[in-house]
Structure 1
């Protein structure tokens, strides 16, 4: 599930914006971001192994930080999944434009929203089967793309001009930092979006059959795999195609093979990135649905979200997410050129805010364990230095969202979202608790 959610639009489409901002130095940004994500996941893993509950990190935030922190974490994660899903359906429309340039993007967006809603409403088994095969297809495709790209670099396969592909492309077009340190720092507003969704591991902690064995294995392997996929894949792409020719009009994965003239490869990869987008949307709706269901059980969301169909599907949450995604159809119809970058920045804000809540909850748990003299079964490495360094990095990303002009609107919307949640919590949740409902 974490692979399905995190290896999607952020890699296949969002990477183009990050490359444009930082140039080849974006590879270092993915390494730094990946290290921070690993620490967040280890913090979540330590809590999940100790207390495996469904919708885990919202409950941990309530327990170790405060009730509003849990409310904020749960609803912001739901908001994150909605925003990421809008980005994913937008990317789907862009990918379809590679084959059908004359069809309006919103048509494809509407079609995929209806398709995914149907899959999620049928049964959990059908959803799982689709997600399993979607994830296998895209992971296999990335591995084959990396292998094929290396072959192009080493043996010149498909090159139509001397020196068209090679490691030299990483430094021959303005150096490793063509846009300077500012460009490098700014790219983190998009880079961190790429890793959003990996925290779905925590959502399913309470449903794992053997959480004390399965969760550590998943926590340790998934972030490393994703990091390798991102760094290796994008390194190969920028060796084959100079970074300054990647314009974001199509996926970089498609454009490199279109550029070097490998017959049919661009069309095959376009089909793969479409599959990846559908997979990510699928995982987004699943994660949001499970979180809304958990919030409703705690009295922090409408009770209607606890309703299950005969097949065990929380159908009200699926319907709610599908209705929300229709907003994405409208935005793509009205703002087709600006929508993706802004949505990606907004998703980054929501993502890092959720991670901030996870880290703060973990710090609270560690203080409680220390006070009671208890040992942890799956402690985070390099405690406490690495945890505080990760907190500082998350704060830096939030500052960059506010500083970079193109992403500043996302910060304004994000701040308004936090204020709205605070008002909602004070008016609705605390009043309900006070009345004994």
Structure 2
């Protein structure tokens, strides 16, 4: 592996980027975490996914505007640094890296749960360790290998979800299966009505719903390694609404129509539970393979996103310069190894608190995710306000509803933050989040003061300042 910074490899095409976005958005939050949101909000969780999805779409359009105009490694951390200042860039970048670590911990935790379907007596941490080592090793090969792997893993998920919807509709229409549960669309409004969880349950469900959408912002991170960002990014972003309706709303409507929402537990994936509950054991086993694939795909995307974000931070002097080192294949191997090391904490946590870890981790991830989304919106607002009328008119992919849509979405994200404090099980996330942001602020102020006191010196040959990008980019 080379020690000099030769630049990232532009090995991702439009097909890769679309499916990387799918891989991060359709993962543990849907296949496992949806059981928590259903239990909180009842059938009304469908409306929560639509509202949350609309907000996320506006976040991604705002990010897409900046990513198409100025594609770079680190993406929104760099944009925040450029438009809101070094502290905002530092905090945004490292919070996103933190988010990806936490989300990946949730994903590998889900793998331990899924494997319990076949091996209930084997400790979870064994499966967690295997997943971390396998996916981590694949991320060290090359970005093209990563892109292809993510394409096929995501394709499995998409085909499986579509098949599950088709089979689920057949179960509803023809009463297939031998389970005891009542089957039919009336499950969505019987037993307490559509808002069966009450106003409180509906509102609280947003804390888990927003976690499910976490990772979609990886679209911006891929811009630094996209072959044609001006084509790939808009296509990936504009596919979000259809994805939300198909993969979240329609899927969960089928699930709750087959199994009354009160009978969905958090002991496994609701996707597997519904078919096991109606007597289709073989379908349940196949779906368990699918949800395992989905979790591996999400971990794959998480490692990629965190590694590239830390690489971008190091390029701007917001992280150790060693994080700029890349392999001969254009992979930032140091940051990938850091991510793998961080994920080994998931092994320890699954060994110590296997029963409570997922809700804690998903709540912390929600805080980090929503904070990053707020910073993306604030950055885009500042960037657009600083443009002349001619510059704004020349944007290739302008965000819609500017500026009122962005302002309303910022307020919505702030409300989700407040929600975390209202529920005892998620309150720890707000505490951890506030401590994290305070710690980052202190670290940035100390390092900034140290840089000011240090006499100017020539940059060493292996630092980002000495390298001209994109001269080292390979295809």
Distance across 1 between alignment mates of 2:371 and 2:179? 46
The equivalent of 1:322 in structure 2 is: 340
Distance across 2 between alignment mates of 1:71 and 1:79? 12
Offset of residue 433 of structure 1: 5.3
Distance across 2 between alignment mates of 1:74 and 1:59? 8
Secondary structure of residue in 2 paired with 1:369:
coil
**Alignment CA distance shift 1:177-1:316 (3 Å):** same
The equivalent of 1:209 in structure 2 is: 227
**Alignment CA distance shift 1:327-1:140 (3 Å):** same
Provide structure 2 residue ranges, at least 5 long, that are not aligned to the other structure: 1-19, 458-475
Pair 1:48 & 2:67 matched: yes
Offset of residue 215 of structure 1: 1.6
CA contact (8 A) 1:3 1:226 kept: no
CA contact (8 A) 1:79 1:350 kept: yes
Provide structure 1 residue ranges, at least 5 long, that are not aligned to the other structure: none
Secondary structure of residue in 1 paired with 2:371:
helix
Tell me the alpha carbon deviations over residues 330-387 of structure 1, each in whole angstroms, 9 at most, x when there is no partner.
1111111110001000000000010011000001011111477642332222222211
Equivalent position to 1:122, from 141, 165, 174: 141
Equivalent position to 1:273, from 280, 291, 296: 291
Q: Provide TM-score, normalisation by structure 2.
A: 0.89
The equivalent of 1:413 in structure 2 is: 432
- Kindly report which structure 2 residues correspond to 1:339-378, keeping only aligned pairs within 5 A, or say none: 339-370=357-388, 374-375=392-393, 376-378=395-397
Offset of residue 174 of structure 1: 1.6
The equivalent of 1:242 in structure 2 is: 260
Equivalent position to 1:113, from 105, 121, 132: 132
Distance across 2 between alignment mates of 1:213 and 1:197? 20
Secondary structure of residue in 1 paired with 2:169:
helix
Secondary structure of residue in 1 paired with 2:246:
helix
More helix by share: 1
Pair 1:166 & 2:184 matched: yes
The equivalent of 1:189 in structure 2 is: 207
Task: Give the root-mean-square deviation of aligned CA atoms.
Answer: 1.5
Q: Provide TM-score, normalisation by structure 1.
A: 0.97
Q: How many residues align?
A: 436
Secondary structure of residue in 2 paired with 1:99:
coil
Distance across 2 between alignment mates of 1:137 and 1:275? 7
CA contact (8 A) 2:31 2:291 kept: yes
Tell me the alpha carbon deviations over residues 275-308 of structure 1, each in whole angstroms, 9 at most, x when there is no partner.
1001100110000000111111111011111111
The equivalent of 1:256 in structure 2 is: 274
- Kindly report which structure 2 residues correspond to 1:268-347, keeping only aligned pairs within 5 A, or say none: 268-347=286-365
Distance across 2 between alignment mates of 1:284 and 1:410? 20
Distance across 1 between alignment mates of 2:170 and 2:223? 40
**Alignment CA distance shift 1:170-1:423 (3 Å):** same
**Alignment CA distance shift 1:305-1:22 (3 Å):** same
Offset of residue 263 of structure 1: 4.0
Distance across 2 between alignment mates of 1:340 and 1:280? 15
**Alignment CA distance shift 1:239-1:374 (3 Å):** closer
Equivalent position to 2:38, from 5, 13, 19: 19
Equivalent position to 2:58, from 39, 43, 47: 39
